[in-house]
Structure 1
Amino acid sequence: MGLAMLVGAGTGLGSIAFRWCIQTFTRLFSGHDDYAAAPGSSNPHVSWLGPFFVLVVPVVGGLLYGPLVNRFAKEARGHGVPEVMLAVAQRGGRISPKVAVVKTVASALTIGSGGSVGREGPIVQIGSALGSTLGRLTRLTEDRVKLLVACGAAGGIAATFNAPLAGVIFAMELILAAFSIEAFGATVLASVVASIIGRAAFGDVAFLTLPAFHVQHLIQYALFAVLGVLAGGVGVAFTRVLYAIEDACDWVWRGPEWLRPAVGGLALGIVLLALPEMYGVGYPVLEGATEGKYAIGFLLVLLAGKMIATSLTIGIGGSGGVFAPSLFIGATLGAAFGAGAHTLLPGSAGAAGAYALVGMGAVFAGASRAPITAVVILFELTGEYSIILPLMLAIVLATVISRMLSRDTVYTLKLRRRGIDLEGPAAGAAIGGEAVASVMEPLPTPVADSLELAEVTPLLSRSEHGALPVRDPEGAYLGVVTARAVTEALTEQPDGAPSTTGDLVEMPHRVTADQQLVHALQPLLSASGTGLPVLDAGGDEPVGWLSHQGALRSLHPPQDTPTAAPPR
């Protein structure tokens, strides 16, 4: 827990340094604290160029961060979160310490020189690199290193958005892809420490100033549901546009990779000249959308422009996140939808700002398929409990639509395009690709659910697995009884303690014989005993037993014993 707090502190300080770098480079390149707040104005450093300076600054920025990333840390390119997910899923939580430094400078240069990306992806990767480095320096086990990586991610989101609970949920839902008491406790500590440091530097205010939220009429819930469906489709569209433009950049570019951001920066500059609101992260424009400052037509232009500008920034080799762009796209979609609904139903549709807030969470959920994170972060940003019901409705629908339209998320598609399946075996892994049937052991003799605890105790004490399958009088499989459960029961007061095996039956995670071993390893690790039953393809009848030893024996299958020659 002390290490988790240390990672949180380091990430909080890292977020301060990162924000300072972004502000410094933004002032240097644009002459403004945030050029998106004054789009189309000139740079006072080169006022004679007028608004045309935006054609130059992405090229200059690319000349600086392109060689830096190419030479020292290629994994710092792009939006960062997929690399952290891969490190946890298949690399034992190992992230190079160089990533923290390179990602800080490269992302700050990208955003400061006009790159239309977010700052949350970089700070997640920076914090995760700190956690990974600290875990390996202290020689922690692989599980502990992964947990510290998640602590860094939680601290990054907490410090960036001043949303400590969202940081915890983000780390568990997207990085660890699992929930446990230990992980929750560690990420909470890291998130709280990072938030305290962030609030000391930036103040105890949300990163966005959002309007009050009110549901004024029941018909709005139907409108929020429609918005959720649209947002799911838009989230998937953003993902596809992102990688389609990246593919186009790969197809066009034939020169050295270090030069790609500079040459591509010219194309980005043309987009910024046409739509200067796309410069940098764009929070002032997002706030304007939630406040109803823009007409429907311009909101749709901003939506399309953000998709193109973010995709182009990533495609040419820029470094930055897609979390904030998805919020931007959601806000413009929601504001346009709300304005249209208000035109059609002026007496009951309500303010467009409410739809903008819900659209932010719904598009993020549609793109990332992280609905819990989406709900929590929007609740923390607004502090309005009344947002919960419409937000949950829209986000769940967006997630369902996204799953129907696409197998992958904006994060996992980047990895799948490189031939990496987070749910499959790691490339070149010694085990994981085999079928469970090829490594399972014979099923231990089942016990009856009517067996007294005193009778099952000696059977469990002689079992190699610390668990036995249980059947009812008709022979149907009920689950397993574990030595741990029986031991705990025998320590309770006799009057209230369970008396038969059937009272202690547990249903373990479902593992079938035709599954790949990689999909069964997580259930195996979380099993109460030292293994778990393997079910047939129908999932009803146990046909074998899976243990850690059995998985390892797949590397060294037993050799046939040579038959002795007959005597002469």
Structure 2
Amino acid sequence: MVAAVLVGAGAGVGSVVFRWCIDFFTGLLSGHHDYAAVPGASNPHVPWLGPWFVLLAPVLGGLLYGPLVNRFAKEARGHGVPEVMLAVAQRGGRISPRVAVVKTLASALTIGSGGSVGREGPIVQIGSALGSTLGRVTKAAEGRTKLLVACGAAGGIAATFNAPLAGVFFALELILGTFSAEAFGATVLSSVTASVIGRAAFGDVAFLELPAFHVDHLDQYALFGLLGVVAALTGVGFARALYLIEDACDWLWRGPEWLRPAVGGLALGLVLLALPQMYGVGYPVLEKATEGGYAFGFLLLLLAGKVVATSLTIGIGGSGGVFAPSLFIGAMLGSAYGIGAGHVLPHSAGAVGAYALVGMGATFAGAARAPITAVVILFELTGEYSIILPLMLAVVLATATSRLLTRDTVYTLKLRRRGIDLEGAAPGARIGAQRVGAVMEPLPPALPAATPLTEAAALLSLSGHGALPVVDGGGEYVGVVTARAVAEALSDQPDTVPSSVGRLAESPDPVTADQPLAQALHTLISAAGTGVPVLDTEQGGPVGWLSHQSALRAVGSGGPAPAG
């Protein structure tokens, strides 16, 4: 508890320093507090350049942060969250303390010089580095260190966006990937502490000031549901475009990495010259779009411009997050969608701003596949509760559609492109690289679905597995029955007891013979018994049995488990 509070305090102070650095470099390199609020204006420091100064600002920023990142912390490049996820999943929560300092300066320089990225990725990495450092200093166990990393992420989000609940769920859903009472309590303490510091520095106001929205017609729910599907396509498309442009930058660049941001800054400057609304994070543009301040065609231009500008900023080696860009893209999409819906259904479509707000949450959910975080953070960023039902509907549909389209998110795709599977084994680990088929045991005798419970109880007690496969009259696999399920059924009232084990059979998450062992362990750990059936990849029937013992034997021998 004390450590969580300390990490939260550190993340809160870090967010204040980070915001101050962004304001300082933005004012220094653009001459304005937020250039996106006055697009096309000249820089008062160099008024003779007029709006053309945006060609030079990214170059100057790149000349400063390029060598900094390349020399001191290469992991500070990019949007940050994937590195934190990797540290928690496979590196015991270890993050270099230098990352906090380098990420603060590099991201502030990137955003201040016109980089079209967000603040959440950097502050997550900064807070997480603080949590990891405290864990190492106090010699905390690996599990506690990982929790402190999550506390740092929660505190950073909470203080930066004045969103304490969103910070908690961001840490649990995306960083830890699990929910527990201990993790919830620790991240709440960190988030509250950081929020108090953030509110003392920035005030207790909603991060975005939006007009009130209401759903006046039930027909609108169908429109919001369709928007969720469209937003998922947009979110997935944004993730693909991000890495496609990064690949193009990798292919084109042949010089030293420290110079890449400066040279690439010329290309970014051209984008900013054509569309100055892309300078920095762009919240003023987002707010104007929700208020109906842009025409349909210009909204689509802003959407495409943000995809290109953000992807180019990351591709040339910039440092910043993709959460804010996904909100921006979603707001443009939702506003354009709302205008279109208003033309088709002028009497029932409702306010354009409502679609913009829902589009923001749904696009983020489609890109990151974090539905709880998407709903909570949109509510806290705007303080607008009246839109919660359509927001929940669109976010769930966006998440489901995204999952159907791709197995990766905007965060995990970066790691998978480097050959890293967060659900797999860490490189060099003794367990996880083997296939399940190489370590599985022979399949234990199956129980016919018509087997009476008393007979099944006796067979389960002799098997030593605590669970057995169940087959129907035709010999087809129907699921698994556990000793616990049979015992609970026999202890119920006589009139509620099923007559056979077929009624108790359940199907665990499928484990196939060609599946990596590390991935199958997640299913094995959550299984009710001491093992799960291994299914044939093509036919789907059980061909073996994966138990805790066979997995442990693979650890000890580094190879397949002996038969039986």
- Place the TM-score, normalised by the shorter chain, in its bin: 0.7 to 0.9
| 506 and 189 in structure 1: CA distance in 2 versus 1, 3 angstrom threshold | farther
Please state how far the C-alpha of 1:535 moved relative to its aligned partner. Answer: 4.2
Distance 2:22 2:393 in 1: 36
| 333 and 545 in structure 1: CA distance in 2 versus 1, 3 angstrom threshold | closer
Please state how far the C-alpha of 1:211 moved relative to its aligned partner. Answer: 1.7
Write out aligned runs for 1:149-228 (5 A). 149-228=149-228
Contact 1:212 1:382 in 2 (8 A): no
Distance 1:557 1:414 in 2: 31
Distance 2:268 2:471 in 1: 68
Deviates more, 1:536-545 or 1:314-323: 536-545
Match of 1:308 in 2: 308
Please state how far the C-alpha of 1:360 moved relative to its aligned partner. Answer: 0.5
Letter in 2 for 1:264: G
Contact 1:440 1:534 in 2 (8 A): no
Contact 1:508 1:532 in 2 (8 A): no
Contact 2:446 2:468 in 1 (8 A): yes
Deviates more, 1:15-24 or 1:438-447: 438-447
Please state how far the C-alpha of 1:427 moved relative to its aligned partner. Answer: 3.3
Write out aligned runs for 1:114-513 (5 A). 114-441=114-441, 450=453, 467=466, 478-481=480-483, 511-513=511-513
Match of 1:550 among 543, 550, 553: 553
| 180 and 551 in structure 1: CA distance in 2 versus 1, 3 angstrom threshold | farther
Distance 2:443 2:252 in 1: 58
Please state how far the C-alpha of 1:539 moved relative to its aligned partner. Answer: 7.4
TM-score, normalised to structure 1, is 0.87
Distance 2:533 2:125 in 1: 38
Match of 2:99 in 1: 99
What CA deviation, in whole Å up to 9, does each residue of 1:143-196 have, x standing for no partner? Answer: 222222222222222222211221222222222222233322222222222222
| 556 and 517 in structure 1: CA distance in 2 versus 1, 3 angstrom threshold | closer
- Structure 1 spans left out of the alignment, 5+ residues: 493-497, 561-568
Distance 2:454 2:479 in 1: 15
Please state how far the C-alpha of 1:60 moved relative to its aligned partner. Answer: 0.7
Deviates more, 1:89-98 or 1:533-542: 533-542
Deviates more, 1:66-75 or 1:504-513: 504-513
Letter in 1 for 2:203: G
Match of 1:563 in 2: none
Match of 2:74 in 1: 74
Match of 2:531 in 1: 532
Please state how far the C-alpha of 1:507 moved relative to its aligned partner. Answer: 8.2
| 1:385 match: secondary structure | coil
Match of 1:25 in 2: 25
Please state how far the C-alpha of 1:540 moved relative to its aligned partner. Answer: 7.5
Please state how far the C-alpha of 1:114 moved relative to its aligned partner. Answer: 0.8
Deviates more, 1:148-157 or 1:507-516: 507-516
Distance 1:394 1:473 in 2: 40
Please state how far the C-alpha of 1:506 moved relative to its aligned partner. Answer: 9.5
Letter in 2 for 1:405: L
| 16 and 535 in structure 1: CA distance in 2 versus 1, 3 angstrom threshold | same
| 539 and 481 in structure 1: CA distance in 2 versus 1, 3 angstrom threshold | farther
| 1:226 match: secondary structure | helix
Match of 1:564 in 2: none
Contact 1:513 1:534 in 2 (8 A): no
Count of residue pairs brought into register by the alignment: 550
Distance 1:557 1:351 in 2: 62
Distance 1:473 1:329 in 2: 51
| 349 and 138 in structure 1: CA distance in 2 versus 1, 3 angstrom threshold | same
| 147 and 443 in structure 1: CA distance in 2 versus 1, 3 angstrom threshold | farther
Distance 1:388 1:105 in 2: 37
What CA deviation, in whole Å up to 9, does each residue of 1:362-420 have, x standing for no partner? Answer: 11111112222111111223333331221122222222332333332211221122222
Contact 2:121 2:320 in 1 (8 A): yes
Distance 1:313 1:354 in 2: 30
User: What is the RMSD computed on CA atoms of the aligned residues?
Assistant: 3.5
Please state how far the C-alpha of 1:214 moved relative to its aligned partner. Answer: 0.6
Please state how far the C-alpha of 1:298 moved relative to its aligned partner. Answer: 1.6
Please state how far the C-alpha of 1:521 moved relative to its aligned partner. Answer: 2.1
Counterpart check, 1:41 vs 2:41: yes
TM-score, normalised to structure 2, is 0.87
| 140 and 241 in structure 1: CA distance in 2 versus 1, 3 angstrom threshold | same
| 1:4 match: secondary structure | helix
What CA deviation, in whole Å up to 9, does each residue of 1:115-136 have, x standing for no partner? Answer: 1100000001111111222222
Contact 2:479 2:506 in 1 (8 A): no
Letter in 1 for 2:346: P
| 324 and 165 in structure 1: CA distance in 2 versus 1, 3 angstrom threshold | same
Distance 2:472 2:226 in 1: 51
Match of 2:88 in 1: 88
| 559 and 171 in structure 1: CA distance in 2 versus 1, 3 angstrom threshold | closer
What CA deviation, in whole Å up to 9, does each residue of 1:412-433 have, x standing for no partner? Answer: 2211222222233333332212
